[in-house]
Amino acid sequence: MSEPVSVRILDREYLVACEPHERDGLIRAAALLDGQMRELRSNAKTATLDRIAVLAALNLAHELTQIRSQKEDHQHDLSRGLADLNRKLDRLLELQR
C-alpha cells in the first residue's frame, strides 16, 4: 500500500506516494536529483527552476541511456562467450563418443 514520503529538492518539500519497499530508493533518487539541480543552479545563476529541472532530467536520462547501452553490450558479450563455450563443449563431447 502506497504511503506518502516527504523529499526536499532545492529547498522545496514534495510529498510522493510510494510503496514501503521503494522508500529508500525514492529518497536516494531525490537526493541525486537535488544534487544535480543544485550544481546546475550554481553554474547558471539566472536559470529558471523549470530550466534547471529540465537540464537535470536530461543529464540523468543521458546517464541512464549510457548505462543501459553498456549493460546491453556486456550482455551481448556474455551471450557470445557462452555460445562459444557451448560449441567447444559440444565438440569435446563429440570427440568423447
Predicted TM-score (pTM) above 0.85: no
Between the two ends of the chain, the Cα-to-Cα distance in Å is 59
Q: Which cell goes with 57? A: 532530467
pLDDT tier for residue 45 given thresholds of 50, 70 and 90: confident
Residue 34 sits at φ, ψ, to 5 deg, of -60, -45
Element (H, E) at 17: strand 12-18
Predicted confidence (pLDDT) per residue in 78-93, tens digit: 999 999 999 999 999 9
| Domains defined for the chain, CATH in brackets | 3-96 (3.30.160.880)
